[in-house]
Structure 1
Amino acid sequence: MPMRMSDVVLKPMHPEGWRFVGIFAVVTVILFLIWEPLGWLGVILTIWCYYFFRDPIRQVPVGDGLVISPADGMISQIGLAPPPPELGMDPAPRMRISIFMSVFNVHVNRSPVTGSLTKMAYTKGKFVNASLDKASEHNERNALLLHTPTGHDIACVQIAGLVARRILPFVAEGAALQAGERFGLIRFGSRLDVYLPPGVEPLVAEGQTMIAGETVLAQLDGLAPLRPARAD
């Protein structure tokens, strides 16, 4: 079936965004009453707000041991770092992949692996630029520990940024998640860190653009063949 232009331009929006779009729309009407050029500026900002909260369907690759990108954005850092202490993991440094989300990226986050959410810990902190290395330690964050059926532990950390002021989890401890399943959202611009198990190397590079729920970050158990993707 051919893709329609409306499918390209109009994307599903997460319910969290409706009230913000409504606020922007009301302000836009007021701006039109004050001065028409201001009203058109409001129209542009309202459209931007709609696109910020977009939640497009993704084709999630299905395969044993795949680690999928949990966020849209660009990889800002890859390197060894100790996992967040609040998760109670072995403090030895492990490979960390940091994905920076600008205000133009999709901000719905998805589970990097299939597994159980064994721990989730919210930590208050600062709101420095999320692209900086110190953001992982000092910024407000929500850390998740995922345990896969094959016994691997993956840490996934939502980090607030310079503009972001709210981290919204959609899940609770004990939840069983599928790879690519939505687990949270960050407003407005931020970063997400993934800590791989010891010995697992990333299949991506710094500066590479990620697509949440689609881009493969790493392979846990050797090069298992991929099976057809599932829409989610």
Structure 2
Amino acid sequence: MFHKEGYRIILITTIIVGVFFILIENFIANFIVNKVLSVSILIVYVLILQFFRNPKRKTLIDDTTIIAPVDGKVVVIEEVEENEYFNDKRIQVSIFMSPLNVHVTRYALSGEVKFSKYHPGKYLVAWHPKSSEENERTTVVVENKVFGEVLYRQIAGALARRIVNYAKPKMQVVQGEDAGFIKFGSRVDLFLPLDTKINVKLNQKVKGGEQIIASLK
């Protein structure tokens, strides 16, 4: 199954690939060149298809846990000063997504959306320390009856050129449901209360929509 944000790109890519195959078969007589070009185009096509895949995940909804919002690798776990919304100290957990990861963003917890804002910005590599504050990004705060307010931030990377965010203020959202999409490489930051128990380690790979990354102490 493919994510709806990829339908248009997949359709256009399919048409372009079909045209290229027709041109190659009709105008490239050299067998080796013909096959190399055909295989190269097919590989690119498959990579684009896999980027927009949207696998079903079984979320066990639990207000006492925070689940991974995306697939990827944990690259930051540290106490930081969050200056956009909270203006106090929080535990930051950041997950980096390579172009090979599923890029669907899912709600890490259930609750009410209290804040949602888009920020234009740069396209530093997603693991750059300043990408959380300087890159194109969206900031969303969800209030949960157990954890209180939790902030997550979708951040564009060097390859990403569009962030899709479905969260709107006053929406009631459900843990594990589709919260958006980031196209072509990026990361997501979570800012959690200081008394949160973190259940993952640096460089650990996580699975969005299912894996518990934090819980109450």
TM-score, scaled to structure 2: 0.90
Percent of counterpart pairs with the same letter? 33
The one-letter amino acid of 2:2's match is M
Relative to structure 1, the CA distance from residue 169 to residue 64 in structure 2 (aligned partners, 3 Å threshold; closer, same or farther) is closer
**What's 1:106 paired with?**
102
Q: CA deviation at 1:84?
A: 4.8
**What's 2:20 paired with?**
31
**What's 2:31 paired with?**
none
What is the DSSP-based 3-state SS (H/G/I as helix, E as strand, rest coil) of the residue aligned with 1:162?
coil
- The alignment of Structure 1 onto Structure 2 pairs a total of residues equal to 207
Q: CA deviation at 1:151?
A: 5.6
Q: Distance in 2 between matches of 1:62 and 1:124?
A: 33
Relative to structure 1, the CA distance from residue 27 to residue 84 in structure 2 (aligned partners, 3 Å threshold; closer, same or farther) is farther
- Show structure 1 runs of 5+ residues with no match: 1-11, 223-232
- Find out whether 1:165 has 2:149 as its counterpart: no
The one-letter amino acid of 1:24's match is T
Q: Distance in 1 between matches of 2:126 and 2:97?
A: 9
- Show structure 2 runs of 5+ residues with no match: 29-33
Rg larger for: 2
TM-score, scaled to structure 1: 0.85
More deviation, 59-68/175-184:
59-68
Q: Distance in 2 between matches of 1:150 and 1:203?
A: 17
**What's 2:133 paired with?**
137
1:75-115: CA deviations, max 9, x gaps? 01111122251xx32x1221100000000000010001111
Q: Distance in 2 between matches of 1:195 and 1:147?
A: 12
Relative to structure 1, the CA distance from residue 84 to residue 146 in structure 2 (aligned partners, 3 Å threshold; closer, same or farther) is farther
**What's 1:176 paired with?**
172
Q: CA deviation at 1:48?
A: 1.2
Relative to structure 1, the CA distance from residue 100 to residue 206 in structure 2 (aligned partners, 3 Å threshold; closer, same or farther) is same
- Find out whether 1:48 has 2:33 as its counterpart: no
What is the DSSP-based 3-state SS (H/G/I as helix, E as strand, rest coil) of the residue aligned with 1:28?
helix
1:29-85: CA deviations, max 9, x gaps? 232214433233222111111111111110112333110000100001111122251
Q: CA deviation at 1:131?
A: 1.0
8 A contact 2:63–2:145 mirrored in 1: no
Q: Distance in 2 between matches of 1:148 and 1:64?
A: 7
Q: Distance in 1 between matches of 2:15 and 2:39?
A: 13
